[in-house]
Amino acid sequence: MKYYEIPSELFINNRLRLIKELPSDSLTILHSAEVPWRSGDGSMRFIQSSDLFYLTGVDQEETILILFPGHPDPAMREILFVRETSDLIAIWEGHKLSKEEATNVSGIDTVCWTGEFESLLRKLARKTDSIFLNYNEHARSGAPVNISRDDRFREWCQDLYPSHSYHRLAPLMHRLRVKKSEPEIELLQTACNITADGFARVLKFVKPGVKEYEIEAELLHEFTRQGSRGFAYEPIIASGKNANVLHYLSNDQTCEDGELILMDVAAEYANYNSDLTRTIPVNGKFTPRQREVYDAVLRILRLCIDKLLTPGKKMKEEYHREVARAMEDELIALDLLDPAVVAAERENENLPEEKRAYRKYFMHGVSHSLGLDVHDVTPTEGIFVENMCVTVEPGIYLPDEGFGIRLENDVIVRESGNLDLMAHIPIEADEIEALMAGS
């Protein structure tokens, strides 16, 4: 592992929280992620299932967790299965967890080899009528069905035990994972700190004539040298008009004098992700118009963090609408919207947000959950909750003027005042200019 060992107490407490939500006589089963294949005989880097990692801390393929809170034998209440290693596996793939190491990582005393799973499951299934199985219920998921070990096991298990009562684990996991514990916040902060160092590095590197992919390389170098797996998501390094493509991924153009560069790029650490966006001038100096738009976006970001983002607030019906009304005022001041048009739209409460004039310049949401997934699980009730980690990322996009600006910080939502995990990363235009000038 690149990251420091995480105390097993985090995973023990996560399981205890889940067990409180489960019927004592129920059986819960979760599987690790697959090793993804690229083509031919080549595999890509393994990334663990977020739910399994959350409950065990095991960062290894072919891992299974069983929870049976009410089993009469305490040794059968938590069972972890890990891949049995061998000298041959060690030569070709490297070290795999021993049973003792798996216990140290997870805090689970009963550890078996994965090959023992099926026979033990048959014994446990006879002692319950209720089984909780996992499924990717993320609202934004576009993944095809039956691609994960959880998916294939779910079909196999239901065929083998058709008379059992099956239940959804995802709603319980979502509710637990939304609220971040202090150890999780520390891991998120570490990811943000690594990201901060990457951003500081590129401020010294950027100048007219550099390629977008050269900036990407500088960031990757800084991230990986600090123990990150690398990018938390595919990096967006968008100069000039490319910034108006929200998910621009080519990163192959030359950064020209007078342009801005929108960089939506961040590091992960120990499977926890950060998410940063900064927009900087290629030559180190904003033009008056660029600065005018930049400051408008920054005001929206500050407004969200300082006033609008609060526990208990409805995400879409309240928060996003409040941001939209503030953005309309900024766009009017920038001579981008007609005040009369905006006034008429505000009178029409039934007009959908996507039909309003401001959407021409600000067409995406302003916040999403963040954690073990970059777009992390969200409350089923659709409200912000205490210790939820979210992004704040307003933007204004001006294709006709050849640039777009987005700014983004990661925030822990708290009633006592939000904790900005990226408050130490430069964002004021004057500070950006000073750092790029070497001051």
Q: Is 221 a catalytic residue?
A: no
Give the active site residue among 408, 410, 420, 433. Answer: 408
- Transcribe 367-410 into DSSP letters: --B-SSSSS----TT-B--TTBEEEE--EEEEGGGTEEEE-BEE
SS3 readout for 87-154: HHHHHHHCCCCCHHHHHHHHCCCEEEEHHHHHHHHHHHHCCCCEEEECCCCCCCCCCCCCCCHHHHHH
Given the residues 216, 373, 406, 410, the one annotated as active site = 406
Three-class SS state of 240: helix
Q: Is 264 a catalytic residue?
A: yes
The residue from 397, 410, 420, 433 that is catalytic is 397
Instruction: Judge whether 59 counts as a catalytic residue.
Output: no
How far is 163 from 159, CA to CA, in rounded Å?
9
In angstroms, the CA 29 to CA 114 distance is 13
Contact 252, 212 (CB under 8 A): yes
CA distance 27 to 124: 8
The one catalytic residue in 184, 212, 216, 264 is 264
Q: Which two tokens stand for residue 146?
A: 């039956």
Q: Hey, CA dihedral for 299, 300, 303, 304, is it positive or negative? A: negative
430 is catalytic: no
Burial group, residue 271, by CB count within 10 angstroms (0-12, 13-18, 19+): buried
408 is catalytic: yes
- Per the annotation, the verdict on 368 as an active-site residue is yes
275 has catalytic annotation:
yes
- Choosing from 275, 410, 420, 433, which is the catalytic residue? 275
Q: What tokens appear for 365 in the block?
A: 């949401």
Residues in the chain: 439
For residue 167, indicate whether it is catalytic. no
Q: Which of 62, 212, 368, 373 is catalytic?
A: 368
Q: Is 375 a catalytic residue?
A: yes
Residue 236: strand pairing partners: 264
Which among 95, 221, 364, 424 is annotated as catalytic? 364
Selecting among 95, 152, 168, 247, the annotated active-site residue is 247
Q: Would you please indicate which residues are annotated as catalytic (active-site) residues? A: 41, 247, 264, 275, 364, 368, 375, 393, 397, 406, 408
